[in-house]
Amino acid sequence: MTSLVTVREDWHGDVPVARIEGEVDAANVADVAARLRGLMTNRAMRLVVDLAATSYLDSAGINLLFAIGEELRSRQQKLHLVVAEGSPVTRMLRLTSLDRAHPTHASVEEALAA
């Protein structure tokens, strides 16, 4: 990973949670993609991606989330997103309709309870 982004993983039972901290762009999206795909298992019914600490998400990052969501959907699983209200990332999700394609939540706890 470049120093601009860190992906931390946590498991809540069979549900993986990926916390993306920093900036996701074309320079590091392949590394982020590998980390997210590494968390996709047949045991989990969903993947939670926590974007609350993500300060920047360009079109490569948006495209990655759409792709991950489609990959999960083809496996009868779901992508859940956690976003901080009012952040620039929230605006990007709304502009691209990513927030309509996949459930969004205000907290990891809310995403896990869904």
- pLDDT of 54: 96
- Measured from the Cβ of residue 65, the count of other Cβ atoms closer than 10 Å reads 25
Check whether domain 5-109 has CATH 3.30.750.24, yes or no: yes
pTM of model > 0.85: yes
Domain ranges of the chain: 5-109
Closest CA to 68 of 29, 95, 22: 29
- pLDDT of 53: 95
Q: What mean pLDDT is predicted for residues 37-59?
A: 94
Q: What is the DSSP letter of 6?
A: E
- pLDDT of 1: 44
The mean predicted confidence, pLDDT, of the chain is 94
Contact 37, 68 (CB under 8 A): yes
Q: Considering only residues 39 and 1, tell me which one the structure prediction assigns the higher pLDDT.
A: 39
